[in-house]
Copies of this chain bind each other. A is one copy, B any other.
Amino acid sequence: MAGLLPGSRAALTARLAPLSKTDGGANHPSLYDLPMPTATPISARDDDLAQVTYNADGLVPAIVQDVATHRILMMAWMTEDTLRKTLATGRTVFWSRSRQEEWAKGETSGDRQWVREAYYDCDGDTLLFVVEQEGKGACHTGEFSCFYRSFGSSALDPAH
């Protein structure tokens, strides 16, 4: 699990939380007492894990959906190892095909994804994770969702 990265929500809260204790002793919620996303590991059964199939590169596509807005955030790839890590840590961990290395989502950006539900499809060849998205969103462009461009829209349309 990540430590407190500069700029992350955790670091921000840790830095600012003491200030909220100096508000004259009033016992009301402070802006800086917002609940933190918490990890909820999933104890997958071996029967379920055995249903998952991997392509010739040992990868399976994983769809990520936001639990609050229901929007599809992104699609990325997992190995059996990163699937197990995702379930065990309660945070999404992918395999980067371009860098050929493990990639804990949000490890550097702070835009972590906290797993709330995890599914596999009828053929076992696609995964679906419903997550609480931390930070500004899932996309490296700064957009909340990677699917911010639609077919048939004008180039001047506001991003979704």
A residues engaging B (CB < 8 A)?
42-45, 47-49, 51, 61, 63, 65, 70, 72, 74-75, 87, 117-123, 126, 128, 139-141, 143, 146-153, 155, 160
Known: A61-B61, A63-B63. A74 touches B121 (CB 8 A): yes
Copies of this chain per assembly: 2
Closest residue on chain B to residue A43 by CB atoms: B152
Query: Which 9 residue pairs across A and B have the least CB separation, nearest first?
Result: A70-B70, A119-B147, A121-B146, A44-B151, A75-B126, A118-B151, A42-B152, A122-B146, A128-B147
Main SS class of interface, A: loop
Select which of B47, B74, B151 is within 8 A of A49 by beta carbon.
B151
Closest residue on chain B to residue A51 by CB atoms: B149
Closest residue on chain B to residue A147 by CB atoms: B119
Interchain CA distance A48-B153 in the complex, whole Å: 9
